[in-house]
Amino acid sequence: MGSEYSVGELMVAAAAREICDGEVVFVGMRLPLLAFCVAQRTHAPKAVGLFEAGVIRDSASPEMLYTMCDPPNIASAAACVPMATVMGLLQRGLVDVGFIGGAEVDRYGNLNTTCIGSPEAPRVRLPGSGGAADVACLARRLVVIMPHERRRFRPRVDYVTSPGYGEGAGWRQRVGLPGGGPAALITTMAVFGYDRETCEAVLRSYHPGFTVEDVRRETKGHMRIAPDVHPTPKPTDEELAIIRAYDPTGFWIG
């Protein structure tokens, strides 16, 4: 990838670009903490961040956050409310974009964070949903961030913890999910979007230092490729400066 930026910084910049000005964002942990700050301080100054613990922000945190409950996130917040209030905003359909992660993902954007193997006799138990299933079901669109490893990409996940497009086109409508479903999957190798008609993942861009074939090799099963597939845009100098100011030791970006 070269020495000018890290993969983590590239992923944060890509995630920040998924946030539009004026949107309500269910932020989540890890890289989304940085992505919201980058978006807020660049192209989306009117974005509002919701944090599952009950924090609501209309400005970027002034300091590095290790958790959503850190003092800098609370002291200058627009509001600190019960968790049920924040989740209620999600349920009312007021969240434009939500960020979550997963251990496994399939071609329809379904995520597994529950177990590897049969749910009745799992080989590995994972942390579970937390609020991720709520975000996946109720946000107007979903952005997933996760490492890119062949074992994580499955034709069908072992357990659907957080639903994407289920079994394909029309599934969300049939089961009554009001949210819009996955819009982007950002990994350590690439960025995927989702086809509007088939609801399948489509390779949108590959990170500099990789090729389409590199991504295909690490993506189990058939991989659809966008006609205009291209290298993921590098972080700008402004984006890098903001990321490094918030995370000077590389705690999140490595």
Q: Are 73 and 130 members of one domain?
A: no
Task: Give the residue among 147, 196, 190, 144 at the shortest CA–CA distance from 168.
Answer: 196
Given this model, what pLDDT does residue 26 score?
Answer: 96
Q: What is the pLDDT of residues 220-231, one digit of tens each?
A: 877 999 999 999
Active site residues: 52
Same domain? 226 vs 249: no
Whether residue 238 sits in one domain with residue 170: no
* 166-217 residue pLDDT tens: 999 999 999 999 889 999 999 999 999 999 999 999 999 999 999 999 999 9
Total domains in the chain come to 2
Average pLDDT over residues 150-173: 94
The band of 131, judged by pLDDT with boundaries at 50, 70 and 90, is: confident
Three-class secondary structure of residue 227 per DSSP: strand
Clarify whether residues 110 and 208 are in a common domain.
Answer: yes
Co-location of 90 and 113 in the same domain: no
Are 246 and 9 within 8 A, CB to CB? no
In 3D space, the residue among 139, 121, 144, 228 whose CA is nearest the CA of residue 180 turns out to be 139
234: phi > 0 → left, psi -120 to 50 → alpha, else beta; which?
beta
Output the pLDDT for position 137: 95
pTM of the model as a whole:
0.94
| pLDDT over 70 (residue 2) | no
Phi-psi region of 10 (alpha: psi -120 to 50; beta: other; left: phi over 0): alpha
